[in-house]
Amino acid sequence: MSSQSGKAAVNVLVQKFGGTSVADLKGFEASADVIQHHGGDGQVIVVLSAVKGVTDLLLAAIDQSVEGGDGKAALNEALQRQQIVLDEYAAKGIATPLGAAFLQQQKEQLAQRIEGVRLLGQCPDRIRAIILATGEGFSSRLMVDLLMHRGIAAAWSDTDVLPLANEDWLDSLINVDAAGPLLKARLTDAVKVLVLPGFYGRNAAGEIQLLGRNGTDYSAAAIAAAVGATRCQIWKDVDGFFTADPRIVSNAQCLDEVSYEEAMELSYFGAKVISAKALTPLSAKDVLCEIRNTYEPDQPGTLIHREAKRTHVVRGISHLQNVASITLHGGGLRGRVGIARRVMDALASRSISILLIVQSSSEYSITLCVKQADAEKARRALEDEFHFERLHKLIDEVLVQGNRAVVSLVGEGMKHYRGIAARFLTAISSAGVNVEVIAQGSTECAIAVVVQGDAAQSATRACHTAFFSRTTHIDLILLGCGNVGSELLRQFRQQSPKLLEQDVELRVRAIANSRSLLVADDVVDLSQWQQQLEQKGTVYNMDDIIAIRDRLGLLNPTIVDCSTDEKLAAEYVRLLEAGFNVVCANKKANTMSLDYYRELRTAASRNFRRFLYETNVGAGLPIIDTLQGLIRSGDQLKSFEGILSGSLSMIFGLLEDGMAVSEAVARAMELGYTEPDPRDDLSGLDVARKLLIVAREIGLQLELSDVDVEPAVPMDSIADVDKAELLPAIRGIDAAFAEKVAKAKAEGKVLRYVGSIKDGKCRVAVEAVPKEQPLGAIRDGENALVLHTHYYQPIPMVLRGYGAGAAVTAAGVFGDLLRTVWRPLDQRS
Ligand code: ADP
Ligand code: ASP
Ligand code: MG
């Protein structure tokens, strides 16, 4: 046996085995192994739960019979589960005299009792206790059979050694002081292992009274406290207390220690590790408690004790389902003394326990939570209690909201830190979950929130990521995989290992082009995404995209739009509302109506999501960010001019060298600088969109139609010709244009296609620019933005560099993507 608590007078170890440890033959064997090999050199008191599921089935048998139904099926299943274990032992030639005799006797008695319940249409609590206790009666006897078979000096004891402190048939308390001598008397020298059924004790008249659901933990804790045991071990099917329910949070971590108070808070709000009730006797007598895994007995488990080190700010997160919130609201509550007391008394008198209660500061409302099963009873109790107030319209109707859950964050270290609640709430809202009630106790050991029941799992996962995950995940869905999209995927592949070193994990969850969508089961394999999209991609619509979030359980997913699709841009608000960040290279959304422009920003902030579009202007050049930074710091843009198109920068540079327009366009096309149809560039619409985005960024309330656009070349003669006839048609304007170029040159100027903002007006036009001015030097596909601001004058701020091309654009999108992450709190103090 491991170290002793020091003050233990007796060398007794208490071991409790829960239902998951005695679910079947394998469980009984594993538990017997633990008793045999991990019981230490002193005596052992073993306390057992019923075979897994048996209590629930017995309860179902009772409830169905009360309702007039036939509870026999449930009863038979309960009996069958236990019989199977006996049969398996028989098959192995192991005698089970105690277990077999008990079950045989119960088969007759239980059938009669359940039939009695059905005839009566009710089940008195006294009978309910007797029926439910049989599960533990069986498992404990069977364990004695098994230990005896192994040659261990084991004895069975009834719970008459656990006298009760109160008269409650279903949720009683053990009189710990009185139990001590009785237990010790039964722990004679001849006995190595004393086995008791958990879950019930006996009153003065010797009648069975239950200790509450999951009461075996409490039996063990009270016994350990009563005899002054060296330790109380709770053996389960998990390695210990986890930072969250491991069935829901796959990367939950097993804790090496927790304090009594933390264990209490975590259990109270749903962590199924040890019942909250069990912690009272343990903590009162300072009994060291271990949570251990029956199936992995060499694992160290979790130690629950007073001095748990506070190395972690937050210890764990728990969630409790099947809760109802009840609100009393109305002016009649204001300033009246004793309302909360009346609420509590009304519920207590009907044995309804209140999980949490919050009063708004104006005292206009009180919200409390109870178990869903108690909700209707609670409503009636409150309606009766506040009958007078309701009659005189001093309060509104009692509002009951079912199917709620409580998610709570627990840790004694929290009281020394600020901002924990903020991070907790941010994480929950990042998961797209609405918080309805917040409660924090004055000990600051726990913060609890009430949310919709079906949102509890995502909220729990989000909080776990926020507080415990070292790795930050970027989950993304890429829409549009042309030049920029494919380049982005290439950059991800290249950059992922470096990011992982910094604890950022990039996960591409889905990829779509205009025709089909590929959703990964987990993550898309970037080494062969093209083939996969081709082979496994399916036709899709926006609902399919939105569904990915729930399907893969994503917390902070991002849509990256590398298309030029206007219809897709019109869906961003919906995507933001559905909890996605949106990062777009697509310029359409920001140049649609001003109403939509505003709606996008409201949707992003309302849903705590990011809407990022750095590459909309100047590709990878940090223009949007720079502008936002200047404006936020109080600077003002006086005027702006820029060369915002890579293709036109190229074309006008060639004109400067004396090339004809038609030839320059042809060259730019050859080099891949233009859109497939170069008229999309020449018309000036693309530059107008970029200019509008800059203008809106500095607060101008303009529509696209407000931008005055002079095309780069006269469009009249070329607008309507076939693409094949385009270059010959442009030749028709070569001469006139050459004249313009020559005229500018004579004045020491060059022609540039410039977007400018001045006096609140946007204009896109061909301009003759002095060669020595910033824009005069911009050519060969380069972009430049010249910002004349209050601070930057007379010399303006100039940003220049390649403003087009897949590599720089993808890098800009990548940058935006990295800005969507929220980082976990550093756990170490
Ligand atoms: P037993 O009756 O055997 O004691 P329960 O069925 O009451 O076991 O609960 C065991 C289950 O509780 C575990 O399998 C685990 O999935 C779940 N659980 C919930 N929250 C936690 C947590 N924070 N740490 C460990 N297990 C948890
Ligand atoms: N069997 C009882 C229950 O399921 C007691 C226990 O297992 O702790 O509530
Ligand atoms: Mg249990």
* Whether residue 728 has a cis bond before it, omega within 30° of 0: no
Tell me which residue of 267, 263, 305 sits closest to 288, measured CA to CA: 305
Tell me which residue of 441, 401, 60 sits closest to 268, measured CA to CA: 441
| Half-sphere exposure of residue 472: CA atoms within 13 angstroms, side-chain side | 19
Residue percentage of the chain with pLDDT more than 70: 97
Q: Is the pLDDT of residue 22 over 50?
A: yes
Can you give the pLDDT at residue 9?
55
What is the 8-class DSSP label of residue 412? G
Distance in angstroms (rounded) separating the CA atoms of residues 690 and 617? 5
Contact 447, 409 (CB under 8 A): yes
Instruction: Tell me the C-alpha to C-alpha distance, in Å, between residue 406 and each of 268, 321, 338, 344.
Output: 10, 7, 26, 19
Can you give the pLDDT at residue 827?
37
Q: Is the pLDDT of residue 361 over 70?
A: no
Q: What is the CA radius of gyration of the chain?
A: 37
pLDDT tier, 222 (very low <50, low <70, confident <90, very high otherwise): very high
CA–centroid distance, 82 to ligand 1, in Å, is: 22
Tens digits of residue pLDDT in 761-784: 999 999 999 999 999 999 999 999
Nearest ligand atom owner, CA of 219:
2
Q: Is 322 helix (H, G, I), strand (E, B) or coil?
A: strand
Can you give the pLDDT at residue 363?
60
Distance in angstroms (rounded) separating the CA atoms of residues 585 and 608? 21
Which residue's CA lies nearest to atom 3 of ligand 2?
214
Contact 757, 700 (CB under 8 A): yes
Distance in angstroms (rounded) separating the CA atoms of residues 115 and 653? 97
CA–centroid distance, 53 to ligand 3, in Å, is: 9
| Ligand 1 binding pocket mutation candidate from 245, 258, 293, 467 (most atoms within 8 A of CB) | 245
Q: Is 714 helix (H, G, I), strand (E, B) or coil?
A: coil
Angle CA 348–350–352, to nearest 5 = 60
| Half-sphere exposure of residue 825: CA atoms within 13 angstroms, side-chain side | 24
Burial 556-582 (b: 16+ CB within 10 A, else e): bbbbbbbbbeeebbebbbebbebbbbb
Can you give the pLDDT at residue 823?
54
Can you give the pLDDT at residue 711?
96
Can you give the pLDDT at residue 334?
75
Can you give the pLDDT at residue 7?
43
Can you give the pLDDT at residue 606?
87
Q: Is the pLDDT of residue 674 over 90?
A: no
Tens digits of residue pLDDT in 552-575: 878 789 999 999 999 999 999 999
- Ranking 261-275, 427-441, 553-567, 807-821 by mean pLDDT, the lowest is 427-441
pLDDT tier, 759 (very low <50, low <70, confident <90, very high otherwise): very high
User: Which ligand 1 atom lies nearest to the CA of residue 236?
Assistant: 3
Contact 314, 411 (CB under 8 A): yes
Chain mean pLDDT for the chain: 92
Number of neighbouring beta carbons within 10 Å of residue 675: 14
For tokens 């069990």, name the residue: 278
**Average confidence (pLDDT) over 626-637:** 92
Distance in angstroms (rounded) separating the CA atoms of residues 192 and 240? 27
Q: List ligand 2's pocket residues with C-beta within 6 A.
A: 18-19, 49-50, 55, 135, 198-199, 213-217
Can you give the pLDDT at residue 826?
40
Q: Is 46 helix (H, G, I), strand (E, B) or coil?
A: strand
User: Which ligand 2 atom lies nearest to the CA of residue 215?
Assistant: 8
Which residue's CA lies nearest to atom 10 of ligand 1?
272
| Ligand 1 binding pocket mutation candidate from 217, 272, 314 (most atoms within 8 A of CB) | 272
CA–centroid distance, 236 to ligand 1, in Å, is: 7
Tell me which residue of 628, 622, 677, 667 sits closest to 808, measured CA to CA: 622
User: Which ligand 1 atom lies nearest to the CA of residue 234?
Assistant: 4
Angle CA 151–155–157, to nearest 5 = 160
CA–centroid distance, 325 to ligand 2, in Å, is: 26
**Average confidence (pLDDT) over 72-100:** 96
Question: Phi, psi at residue 174, to the nearest 5°?
Answer: -90, 140
- Enter the tokens of residue 323: 């809760």
Which helix or strand (DSSP H or E) is residue 28 part of?
helix 25-37
| Ligand 2 binding pocket mutation candidate from 59, 199, 200, 208 (most atoms within 8 A of CB) | 199
DSSP 785-807: EEEEESSS-SSPEEEEEE--SHH
Which amino acid is it at 268? Answer: Y
Helix extents (H) in 240-386: 260-268, 279-284, 339-348, 375-385
CA–centroid distance, 282 to ligand 2, in Å, is: 19
Higher pLDDT, 440 or 698: 698
**Average confidence (pLDDT) over 121-127:** 95
Contact 304, 240 (CB under 8 A): no
Instruction: Tell me the C-alpha to C-alpha distance, in Å, between residue 624 and each of 236, 621, 696.
Output: 56, 9, 11
For tokens 């975590």, name the residue: 266
Does residue 659 line the site of ligand 1, with CB under 6 A? no
User: Which ligand 2 atom lies nearest to the CA of residue 18?
Assistant: 7
Does residue 273 line the site of ligand 1, with CB under 6 A? yes
Q: Is the pLDDT of residue 548 over 50?
A: yes
- Enter the tokens of residue 263: 């264990």
Length of the chain in terms of residues written: 829
- Enter the tokens of residue 130: 């007797």
Q: Is the pLDDT of residue 130 over 80?
A: yes
Tell me which residue of 566, 599, 571, 569 sits closest to 584, measured CA to CA: 569
Does residue 238 line the site of ligand 1, with CB under 6 A? yes
| Ligand 1 binding pocket mutation candidate from 24, 235, 236 (most atoms within 8 A of CB) | 236
- Give the bridge partners for 208, in sequence order: 202
DSSP strand pairing (12-17 vs 517-519): unpaired
DSSP strand pairing (154-156 vs 708-709): unpaired
Distance in angstroms (rounded) separating the CA atoms of residues 248 and 460? 8
pLDDT tier, 5 (very low <50, low <70, confident <90, very high otherwise): very low
Number of neighbouring beta carbons within 10 Å of residue 53: 16
Question: Phi, psi at residue 631, to the nearest 5°?
Answer: -65, -45
DSSP strand pairing (558-561 vs 581-584): parallel
User: Which ligand 1 atom lies nearest to the CA of residue 16?
Assistant: 4
Angle CA 114–204–12, to nearest 5 = 95
Angle CA 294–247–523, to nearest 5 = 130
Which residue's CA lies nearest to atom 5 of ligand 2?
214
- Enter the tokens of residue 59: 């309860």
Q: Is the pLDDT of residue 4 over 90?
A: no
**Average confidence (pLDDT) over 21-42:** 96
User: Which ligand 2 atom lies nearest to the CA of residue 211?
Assistant: 5
Can you give the pLDDT at residue 682?
95
Tens digits of residue pLDDT in 144-174: 999 999 999 999 999 999 999 998 999 999 9
- Provide the phi-psi class of 454: left if phi over 0, else alpha when psi is between -120 and 50, else beta: alpha
Q: Is the pLDDT of residue 829 over 90?
A: no
Tell me which residue of 256, 255, 253, 275 sits closest to 264, measured CA to CA: 275
Which helix or strand (DSSP H or E) is residue 258 part of?
strand 257-258
Q: CB within 8 A of 284, min separation 6: which ones?
A: 176, 225
- Ranking 434-443, 753-762, 766-775, 778-787 by mean pLDDT, the lowest is 434-443
Active-site residue set: 690
CA–centroid distance, 4 to ligand 3, in Å, is: 27
Can you give the pLDDT at residue 149?
97
Contact 129, 55 (CB under 8 A): no
Q: Is the pLDDT of residue 8 over 60?
A: no
pLDDT tier, 442 (very low <50, low <70, confident <90, very high otherwise): low
Nearest ligand atom owner, CA of 274:
1
Distance in angstroms (rounded) separating the CA atoms of residues 827 and 829? 6
Angle CA 631–607–313, to nearest 5 = 95
CA–centroid distance, 147 to ligand 2, in Å, is: 22
Can you give the pLDDT at residue 338?
82
pLDDT tier, 825 (very low <50, low <70, confident <90, very high otherwise): very low
- Give the bridge partners for 154, in sequence order: 193
* Whether residue 794 has a cis bond before it, omega within 30° of 0: yes
- Give the bridge partners for 758, in sequence order: 639, 761
